Amino acid sequence: MAASFSLSLYPWIYLAKYTEGGVWLEEYREQDHFSPAEEAELSSEARADLMERRNNFEGLPHVNYTTQYGMGCFEGLKAFPQRDGSLKLFRPDRNGERMHRSMAGLEMPAFPVAMFLEAAIGTVRRNQEIGFAPAYDAAWETDNFLTAQSVYLRPFSYSEPGIGLNLSANPWVVIPTTPVGSYFDPDSSNKAITTDKVRATRGGTGWIKCDANYVIPTLVKHAVQRQGYMEAIFLDAKTGTFVEEGSSSNIFFLLKNGTLVTPALEDTILPGITRETLLQLARDRGVKTEERRISIDEVMSEATEAFVSGTAAGLSYLESITHKGNERELNNGEMGELTRDLLLELKGIQYGSVEDRHGWMVPV
């Protein structure tokens, strides 16, 4: 995996607190900073100290239902540099809607979608105004934006103080931002392997983007990376035969009959926004798509291309899938035609080189 995420947080953050009166009290807070040029000249020790101070969100309790029990949820979305010097967010309304559902699913007051949109735009804009945003680089066009930079927003909920098992009645919503690059290393293996570990069970929280859901995928992902794989593939908890998700992303398969299949959104699968986007882009091309259960046996016999998708990953192809010791190479280990077409169209829309005919990009 490439060095993409970092704690190089931008100075402006957003915080909102739900009060007893049912009102969200909002604030934009400017954390310690110098100019971008001055920060670039700091020693590694001075920069680490600055980032530590910037990451200290004063007023948030350390002992609470989020830190003790994982009672929290989060989002991930990006703002993309455009040729004219502006930034545009990709489908932030869908992130706001999903965060609203996640918070409601955890039985805490749900953050209003309209406030989410305004806060996301406002946080990115404040940072851009003081120089904290990547500038569009025409050189990105040479590799179709695969190594381009963007602004990553990480909205998350955080509970009030508490130590017993309880629900959050007065949560915060916090939005920090950071620069981010390519999620997957283009020079690394793109192989995947199935795992017998379980990401989510029926009747659980698999459909919520909540903190606790990421413990097992993180453990499994690092375990398979040590074996030389990029990605693990989770199967269903009940039978161990149906594909559900990758260890960090939704997953797609192009079958021999030309159908693009992704697992149906049951309550064990996260409703990915990039997943939804790629289904639409495929349909726009006349590709038949299906959202249904797909067995690993069908994948191993019928798939010709496969890829994973997510906000961080975008779209990343799988060169092979290994299941119970058997490896199935896909498209001679190379990125397939449909996978490449969808990837280039997605990146082009996000960075403004391809027409945004669905109106997904929102100006900052």
Model pTM above 0.85: yes
Q: What is the pLDDT of residue 1?
A: 35
* 311 dihedral zone (left: phi>0; alpha: psi -120 to 50; beta): alpha
Rounded CA separation 241/232 (Å): 15
Domain boundaries, the chain: 12-180, 191-351
**Out of 187-191, 292-296, 337-341, least confident range:** 187-191
Rounded CA separation 183/174 (Å): 23
Query: In CATH, which of 3.40.50.150, 3.20.10.10, 3.30.300.30, 3.40.50.620 is domain 191-351?
Result: 3.20.10.10
CATH fold group of domain 12-180: D-amino Acid Aminotransferase; Chain A, domain 1 (3.30.470)
Q: Which structure tokens are listed for 23?
A: 């009102």
DSSP one-letter string for 75-106: --EEEEE-TTS-EEEESHHHHHHHHHHHHHHT
Residue 265 has pLDDT above 70, yes or no: yes
Strand, helix or coil for residue 224: helix
Rounded CA separation 4/224 (Å): 19
Q: What is the pLDDT of residue 198?
A: 95
Rounded CA separation 117/121 (Å): 6
Q: What is the pLDDT of residue 7?
A: 81
Residue-averaged pLDDT of the chain:
95
Strand, helix or coil for residue 262: strand
What are 97-150's pLDDT values in tens digits?
999 999 999 999 999 999 999 999 999 999 999 999 999 999 999 988 988 999
| Residue 329 binned pLDDT confidence (cut-offs 50, 70, 90) | very high
| Residue 186 binned pLDDT confidence (cut-offs 50, 70, 90) | low
**What mean pLDDT is predicted for residues 295-322?**
95
Q: Which structure tokens are listed for 20?
A: 């007893």
**What mean pLDDT is predicted for residues 24-32?**
97
Residue 283 has pLDDT above 90, yes or no: yes
What are 153-176's pLDDT values in tens digits?
999 999 999 999 999 999 999 999
Q: What is the pLDDT of residue 146?
A: 86
**What mean pLDDT is predicted for residues 329-340?**
96
**What mean pLDDT is predicted for residues 203-223?**
95
Which parts of 8-64 fold into alpha helices (H)?
36-40, 44-54
